[in-house]
């Protein structure tokens, strides 16, 4: 996670430095924001016993290209996305040909497990912003997997990390939606691609993300 955080800081630092050499008008077209959401995992493995809240987050910077003097614009940029799936199941054979999720046995003093996924994303959006600051954005994003790992949390508080979960799809793609006012919006994302490669894990596992967008800059 530290490496991912440093990479995110580097990406946004490069964008910030690039903005310093641009005109004031161009600088105003840059926006930086964050999404905070929960993932609703569809088609989870049988017996996985998923947690109701699976918190995740996106961080991104985007350039807004306005269509003349209208209230519409096109935005593109780069960001990072983090998704988590909390369950009461063993994530077995993470480096084998096929990954399996099995229910936690009662004899195992384990509290929960987590599958964590991290992506570098390229978001694209068509945006509308009215003079009254109402916002609407329809878009898509394409992501590349940079980290996939599992974590076990035991009843006594001990944590075991299993790095490099295999057979996760390297690319992801899906539509996004934001509706809100001023710097605050409701956010939604639907993953068209499945998490695992075909035949290498739970076949149809994918997230729908619902949460909030904060756009302070």
Length of the chain, please?
217
Encoded tokens for 109? 């003093």
d(CA 160, CA 8): 25
Question: Using one digit for the tens of pLDDT, what is the confidence trace for 66-93?
Answer: 998 899 999 999 999 999 999 988 887 6
C-alpha triplet 184, 185, 189: angle, nearest 5°? 145
User: What is the residue-averaged pLDDT of the chain?
Assistant: 85
> Residue 17: how many CA atoms within 13 Å on its side-chain side?
6
Question: Using one digit for the tens of pLDDT, what is the confidence trace for 92-123?
Answer: 766 667 788 888 777 777 778 899 999 999 99
pLDDT surpassing 70 at residue 21: no
- What DSSP string runs through 70-112? SSEEEEEEEEEEEEEEEESEEEE-TTSSS-EEEEPPTTS-EEE
Encoded tokens for 41? 């995992």
Question: Using one digit for the tens of pLDDT, what is the confidence trace for 169-187?
Answer: 999 999 999 999 999 999 9
Question: Using one digit for the tens of pLDDT, what is the confidence trace for 29-39?
Answer: 888 999 999 99
Region 209-217 average pLDDT: 90
pLDDT for 33? 93
């Amino acid at each position: 996670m530290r490496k991912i955080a440093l990479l995110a800081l580097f990406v946004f630092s490069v964008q910030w430095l690039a903005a310093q050499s641009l005109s004031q008008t161009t600088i105003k077209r840059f926006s930086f924001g964050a999404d905070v959401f929960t993932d609703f995992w569809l088609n989870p493995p049988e017996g996985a016993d998923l947690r109701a809240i699976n918190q995740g987050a996106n961080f991104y910077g985007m350039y807004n290209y306005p269509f003349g003097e209208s209230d519409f614009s096109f935005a593109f940029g780069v960001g990072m996305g983090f998704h988590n799936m909390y369950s009461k199941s063993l994530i077995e054979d993470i480096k084998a040909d096929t990954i399996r999720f099995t229910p936690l046995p009662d004899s195992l003093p384990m509290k929960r497990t987590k599958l964590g996924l991290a992506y570098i994303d390229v978001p694209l959006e068509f945006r509308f912003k009215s003079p009254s600051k109402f916002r609407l954005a329809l878009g898509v994003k394409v992501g590349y997997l940079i980290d996939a790992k599992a974590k076990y949390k035991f009843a006594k508080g001990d944590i075991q990390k299993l790095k490099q979960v295999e057979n996760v799809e390297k690319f992801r793609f899906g539509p996004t939606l934001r509706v809100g006012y001023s710097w605050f919006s409701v956010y939604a994302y639907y993953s068209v691609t499945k998490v695992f490669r075909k035949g290498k894990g739970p076949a149809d596992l994918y997230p729908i993300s619902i949460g909030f967008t904060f756009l302070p800059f």
